[in-house]
Structures are given as structure tokens and as C-alpha cells.
A and B are shown apart, each in its own frame.
Chain A
Amino acid sequence: MMLDYRARATTELRTHPLDEFTLIYDRASGQTHLLGAPMPELLDCLGADWESLPIILARLNSRFEVGGNDDAAQAVRAHLAELIMLGLAECRTADHSDAA
């Protein structure tokens, strides 16, 4: 099953860099997250619009050398799942009917 991803609205999150880490305060839950690489970078690559994994990977590759193979995709997918679990990103079943 293909998924699309997007970040939670920036108005709901307050970020604060802390040396090599990033603090994120979630206004809705009141939780504070302390994220280390590559999570803040990945979150930064997610936009407000729903995007597919290949597009997110391409965006990541334009900024970092992530690679385009299956291992890279799998790793990014796992990190996206963690961001979703933390409540910092969202996913939905991909709808590519417009593209077809």
C-alpha cells in the first residue's frame, strides 16, 4: 500500500535548535520532543501538502546524499513512521487518480 506524507502544520509546532539536536514543542499535546539527526532534516523536507515517498526521497537527495536504492527508501519510510508515531507528521493512503 502506497502512502503519502505531510508534516503537521507549522503553526502547531514550535521548534528550537539546541546544538546538534532540535527541540520541538507540540502545542496540541503539550509534549516536548528532542530530535537528533536525521529526524529534523526529514521533517524539514516534508511540506504542508501530501507527498509520495519518491518525491520526499528526491527532495532529501537534493539536500543530502541519501541514495536512491531500496535500502534508503526503507530507512526513510521507517523514520517517517517514527515521526508519525510522535505526532509530528501525518500519512494517508496514496490517491494518485489525478496522475493516472
Chain B
Amino acid sequence: MQHELRLHVGPVRFRIGSQWAQPLDHMRRLYADFPNGDDGPPDFTVRLEAPRLMRRFIRPQVAIAGDFMLPDALPLPLAHGLLAAEMAMNLQVALGWRRHLLLHASVVERDGRALIMTGLSGSGKSTLSAMLGENGWRFMGDEFALIDPDSGMAVPFPRLVSLKNAAIDAMQARLPEHRFGPVLADTPKGMIRHLMPPQDAVKRMGEGALPALMLFPRYGFDPELRAVGKPEAFVRLTQASTNYVSMGEAGFAALSGLIDRVPVLAMDFNDGDAVMAQIDTLWRDALAAGR
């Protein structure tokens, strides 16, 4: 393709091709700290291309293509090209990655152990991981938890954090402007702004961590904490996994092992600062119980 970018994020090497320079220019800036992934063949190829020739030039639209595609995916305007690239990278991993069990979750690390947060879109898991990543935790990813089937370790996949709507203001108030991507207004999920992960997260993206606690956060509800039983946790995590079925017995072993070892809590919250303090307490308790 006319423009190309190689990128190495965690264990995954991407090759991203584009008919326009703009989406890749944004990515080069936001992924500047990452290795370029030319030390081996790419695991996935992503292509950003016009759905029809005219749409390359007139009111340009970006369609997502690559090794794995969704036939019904609608093209996005070129102004949302960065979002299209991020979505395309997610899609390749969600549908094609087999080396780890994938959970739709964010992950942070402290004390050498990982905290996994999973929930539906809007649950606050991305924002929490971004906030924790700026407050003494190591950010490991906001989209996928990669669980190694042999060791049970969570493997970092520290992509850009996709901040949405109110979370954008919350993070802009705390972090310098150069950490953010362009404001993407009127996307299918409202306003989106991407946040560069902290440098430490990139530098240490080869270091996995054994999970010590799992949270099912839910933003916008009165604060409440509930222990989640293992059967319920197992069912919810199979739903949160994009490759549990295709991983076969290795996925079964990885997930049942994770559930056995790691306590799971459902956590409703409506205040970012209060929940940070609460997570600190839960974390101390989880580590103490695990000793």
C-alpha cells in the first residue's frame, strides 16, 4: 500500500497499510516509544482503504481490511482514520490470536502481580486502567488481557487507551496535551480521544505478571461490592473472551486455572477518586490473602 507502518506491541507484530498518510502520521506520533516490529514477520496485516475508488478522494472514507475482516463493518470518515486503525488491530487480535487466552479486559500491575478488570463497553475498565497507570500501577493494556496457557501469566499488550466522552475530560485534567491523540467527535461510540500509555508500560511490555485479583467494574451505579462465585465468574469470562472456543482445551485449562487461583469481585462505582482508594484496599487484601 502507499503508506505503511510496522509496530510491535507486546507479543504481537502488526503491519498497517493505508491509502492515506494521515492515520499513520497520528499512529507514528502516538506509538513513537514502541519498537517498529521489523525484527520478524508480522503476525497480522491491517489495511485502511477506501470502500470505493471515489471515496479515496471525495468525502474520503476508511474501510477496515486485513487478515481478518467483518463483512458488515461500516466505513468511517477519514477524520476517524486513527480509530479505524485501532479497531482493525483489535479485530485481528480478537479473531486471529491463538497463543494466549484473550479476555476483553484491562490490566494493570503492581507488586509484581496483575489486576484484571473486565466488563462491557462503558463499564469504566479502560478509564480505571488509565488512571491507575498514572498512579503507581504499571499499565498493561486497556482492551485485552492475554493469559498465557502454560504459565497463567498475564502478558502486556499496552496499546493506546481509548478514552470516551466524560473520561476524556477526567484524563485531560491530569495529563499533558502531548499524551493525547486527535479529538474524534461523533464516532459510533461518541467522542473518543486516544491516550499514549506511560513510557514505563512500553519499556516493560515484555514483562508478564501473575494475576492476583479480578474485578468486574460497573460505572454509574451506587457503590457496591460483591464476591463473584467461581461458576458465575467462569461463565462471564467465557463471554468476555474472544477466543475461548477456538483455543480448545488450552483455553479451558487457562480459564479454569485462572478462576481457581484468583478471587473475583463485582464492583459498582460512581466516583473515580473514591474507587481508586477502594482498589488500593482490595489489592492489599488480595495480596495478603494470597500469601
User: How would you classify the secondary structure of chain B's contact residues: helix, strand, loop or mixed?
Assistant: helix
| 9-residue interface stretch from A26-34, A53-61, A81-89 | A26-34
Q: A19 an interface residue at 8 Å Cβ cutoff?
A: yes
Query: Are B245's CB and A30's CB within 8 A?
Result: yes
> Which of B230-244 touch A at CB < 8 Å?
230-231, 234-235, 238
Q: With A and B bound together, what is the CA distance between A99 and B229 in angstroms?
A: 49
Q: A92 an interface residue at 8 Å Cβ cutoff?
A: no
Contacts of A34 in B (CB 8 A): 231, 234-235
- Sorting the interface of chain B by its residue count into under 10, 10 to 19, 20 to 34 or 35 or more gives 10 to 19
Q: A18 an interface residue at 8 Å Cβ cutoff?
A: yes
Q: A39 an interface residue at 8 Å Cβ cutoff?
A: no
Query: Are A23's CB and B229's CB within 8 A?
Result: no
Query: Are A27's CB and B249's CB within 8 A?
Result: yes
Q: B252 an interface residue at 8 Å Cβ cutoff?
A: yes
A92 to chain B, nearest CB (A): 28
Q: With A and B bound together, what is the CA distance between A78 and B252 in angstroms?
A: 28
- Sorting the interface of chain A by its residue count into under 10, 10 to 19, 20 to 34 or 35 or more gives 10 to 19
Query: Are B252's CB and A19's CB within 8 A?
Result: no
Contacts of A25 in B (CB 8 A): 249, 252
User: How would you classify the secondary structure of chain A's contact residues: helix, strand, loop or mixed?
Assistant: strand
Q: With A and B bound together, what is the CA distance between A19 and B230 in angstroms?
A: 7
Q: With A and B bound together, what is the CA distance between A27 and B253 in angstroms?
A: 12
Query: Are A18's CB and B231's CB within 8 A?
Result: yes
Query: Are B248's CB and A30's CB within 8 A?
Result: yes
Q: With A and B bound together, what is the CA distance between A27 and B238 in angstroms?
A: 17
Q: A16 an interface residue at 8 Å Cβ cutoff?
A: yes
Q: With A and B bound together, what is the CA distance between A34 and B232 in angstroms?
A: 10
Q: With A and B bound together, what is the CA distance between A66 and B252 in angstroms?
A: 33
Q: With A and B bound together, what is the CA distance between A20 and B231 in angstroms?
A: 8
In the complex, the 10 A-B pairs of residues with the closest C-beta atoms, listed nearest first: A25-B252, A21-B231, A16-B256, A18-B230, A19-B230, A18-B231, A30-B248, A19-B229, A23-B256, A19-B231
Interface residues in chain A, defined as those with a beta carbon under 8 Å from any beta carbon in chain B: 14, 16, 18-21, 23, 25, 27, 30, 32, 34
22 A-B interface contacts by CB (under 8 A): A14-B249, A14-B252, A14-B253, A16-B256, A18-B230, A18-B231, A18-B234, A18-B256, A18-B259, A19-B229, A20-B231, A21-B230, A21-B231, A23-B252, A23-B256, A25-B252, A30-B245, A30-B248, A32-B238, A32-B252, A34-B234, A34-B235
